[in-house]
Structure 1
Amino acid sequence: MLLTALAAAAVKPSWGQAAAATSLQSAVTFAIFVLQGVMLRRGEAEKALGAKGAILWGLASILVITPLTAPLAGALPLQPPGLALGLLVFACMPTTLSSGVALTQVLGGNTALALLLTIATNLASVFTLPLLLPWALKATAAIGGFGAATATASAATAVRLDPVPLLVQLVQCILAPTLLGASARGVFVGLRTWVDANRRTLSVISGALLSLVPWMQVSKAMAQGLTVSPLALAAAVAASLGFHFVYLGLNTAACGLLRLGGSDPVASAPTRRALVIVASQKTLPVAMAVLGRLAPAVGAEAAGCAAVTAVFSHLAQTCVDFALVSRWLKHIQQRQTPPAAAG
């Protein structure tokens, strides 16, 4: 659906531009996070509260440590510069809303821990992003990245982002609808039962709504003359995957060095599998919501270009992790197969 949305924006940008001129984007973003709130299984997440060390590392890795790469991402010499902006914003994001938990479950990992980190980081990001994004934009401009070129060309200052208005906007478009959906799930038993029985359908609806956001942002940028060469986009996606592999390596090393989940490699395996997957992924819906709010500060063209980067980074990340989990699962099964049965 995301690729279809981008194709539609390229073929007929006037439609998406017209939609962007309305309040549709705000309504769609609100609906996406209401659905996410309704589908949150808070009770399952609470089962992981005993794994304090793993929780602390997961929160630190997702919300603080991996976003430290954002200024480097924003300083990559990509053209147009909005491609680097997309990498910067994507690096600051919390973990994925669904795929991390799903992959953890496939691997036999600690699903409760994965759920807890997903819920906690996506809610906490509403308060961390207004601090992270201004810092990342300022830092990347200082080393010649996104914003520095804009400042030189326009004789203006580098992109400045006031954290307080951004905090208010993120509370309105992410936190409030998520809490509304979660509250409705907790109060109405019938709704909770229906949602759990129709999760696949609701996920499809959420995905369709999500595709509307980059459609509008990219359409608006295309209408203003944005062009991105396939080679430049491929370079941006390759860079995004490079950062993703760094996150995977970092979290894998931390699990071993800090003995997260315990010193017993067998008993700690489910916790470590959950951490490696969930703490290394970045979510797209929050990135789309943030880019919608950044557009007035960075310009519609840069925001649209950044949306393209974020969408393809998300798709590439998902494909790589599915392949990684498939190989990891085969390795686990081979280790668990008794020698006699193997022969």
Structure 2
Amino acid sequence: MATMTFYRSLRIRWTRWIMPLGLIVALFLGWLWPTPGKYLDDTPLQSICIIVIFIISGLELHLESVRDLVRLWPSATLGLLSILFITPLFALALRHIPVDSFVILGLGVFALSPTTVSTGSVLVAQCRGNMPLSLFFTVFSNVLAVFTIPFLLPVLLLGPNSGVSFTLNPTDILLQLTYLVLIPLCAGRIILRPITIVRLWSERHKLFLKLFCILLLIIIPWMKMSSSITAFNKISAAQIFLTAAIGIAMHLSFIAFNWTMALLCCFKPDVTKAVVIMCSQKTLTVGFAVLASLPNSQDGLYAIPIIIGHLVQLVIDSILASRWDVKDKKSARSMAEPTELISVPPA
């Protein structure tokens, strides 16, 4: 039993870190050997990868537990507001930071994105957070973001201080996100999941589907890096470190706001964990889908801040979830220890 628990824990930790390692390898591969990725970037492969990812995400959605969230409507509502409207306001601050336009647009798109599809839920499960609430944030933020991003992006990111020269049509972005995100997600949940054979197969091969989605997600920045290699070679190491520093500041500000909100609202510990992690994380996939709709040939350059932001949030939240887990285990052990009774000799 202990061996099975050890291997299960090892597998969870391994699958958690395979995506950031894969993203780093993809960036280096696209930098060192750009020819294959540059060729594939001229094909519809990026759109196919995003569509398949959201079909699988829809197939794996368990909406049964969401019905039990009626009593948690305050935390669910405040969390959605934080994900979709409050944390995106960081994009306004980016416009006043003296950095290159690719950093402003990349991290700005990342700030506007909904919460992660799987990474956040894994961390919430690790620290014994409220899983139905984390699932609620995943489903509804990714669906609603299709309708909020097209109208928030021009307002928050484009302006005299943004350094971004092109214009955006909200309708074009809305249509792009609808067919890349919303339709595949609904198709996986409404069409494929009710098919018993498909549902049972997906439940037996969860690890395979997770790794397959990670592979598809890694392919996108590899192609983008390859196609933007000329522009990337002009970026200095100082710009990369500055982007990482801004990404750290952005994610820590998200955590600080969501944690403060949870404390002021007196949420229970498991609800607080779900709110802090899920409402502070941003997903790569929707960010890449937004970049695909931008009228610019250097969208691969804009993808680099998104990747850096994702790596930063994964490291920070993994440390946070681990500390919560250790704290809970210590508390459980102290509660389980029997109190020593002082024996009184008989008279």
The answer, yes or no, to whether TM exceeds 0.5 is yes
Contact 1:38 1:192 in 2 (8 A): yes
Q: Residue 121 of structure 2 contacts residue 135 of structure 2 at CA under 8 Å; is this kept in 1?
A: yes
Moved more, 110-119 or 225-234: 225-234
Structure-1 residue corresponding to 2:52: 31
**Which residue number in structure 2 is paired with residue 321 of structure 1?**
317
Aligned length: 318
Question: C-alpha deviations, 1:315-334, integer Å up to 9, x for none?
Answer: 12111111111112222233
1:41 maps onto 2:62 in alignment: yes
Q: 1:1-343 residue pairs with structure 2 within 5 A?
A: 1-79=22-100, 81-138=101-158, 141-142=159-160, 144-147=161-164, 158-223=165-230, 226-260=233-267, 268-294=268-294, 296=295, 299-301=296-298, 303-338=299-334, 341=337
Helix, strand or coil for the counterpart of 1:22? coil
The 8 Å contact of residues 91 and 104 in structure 2, kept in 1 or not, is answered as no
Contact 1:137 1:146 in 2 (8 A): no
CA distance in structure 2 between the aligned counterparts of 1:46 and 1:227, rounded to whole angstroms: 51
Q: What do the CA deviations read for 1:287-343 (whole angstroms, capped 9, x no partner)? A: 11111111x2xx222x22220111121012111111111112222233333278499
**Any idea what the Cα deviations from partners look like across 1:186-234, whole Å, max 9, x if unmatched?**
3212211221221111011001111111122221111456532222111
1:118, distance to aligned residue in structure 2 (A): 0.6
Q: Residue in 2 aligned with 1:265?
A: none
1:11 aligned partner, one-letter code: L
TM-score, structure 1 as length reference: 0.88
Distance change (3 Å), C-alpha of 1:204 and 1:60: same
- SS of match in other structure, 2:285: helix
Deviation at 1:39, TM superposition (A): 1.4
Unpaired stretches in structure 1, ≥5 consecutive residues: 148-157, 261-267
In the aligned structure 2, how far is the partner of 1:274 from the partner of 1:201? 26
Q: Which amino acid aligns with 2:277?
A: I
Any gaps of 5 or more consecutive residues in structure 2?
1-21, 340-347
Give, as a single letter, the amino acid of the residue that structure 2 aligns with 1:172: Y
**3-state SS of 2:71 partner:** coil
RMSD of aligned residue pairs (Cα, Å) = 1.8
The 1:252/1:224 distance shift into structure 2, 3 A limit, reads closer
Task: Compute the TM-score of the two structures, normalised by the length of structure 2.
Answer: 0.87
2:258–2:280 CA contact under 8 A, matched in 1: yes
1:263 maps to what in 2?
Answer: none
Q: Equivalents in 2 of 1:74, 1:27: separation in Å?
A: 32
Question: More displaced, 234-243 or 183-192?
Answer: 183-192
Alpha-carbon shift at residue 14 of structure 1 (Å): 2.4
> Identical aligned pairs, as a percentage?
31
Identify if the C-alpha distance between structure 1 residues 17 and 340 changes in structure 2 by more than 3 Å, giving closer, same or farther: closer
> Residues 50 and 339 of structure 1: is their aligned pair in 2 closer, same or farther, counting only changes over 3 Å?
closer
Alignment check: 8 A CA contact 1:34 1:177 kept: yes
Structure 2 CA distance, aligned partners of 1:225 and 1:287?
A: 19
The 3 A distance-change label for structure 1 pair 52 and 225 is: closer
Contact persistence 2:60–2:193 (CA under 8 A): no
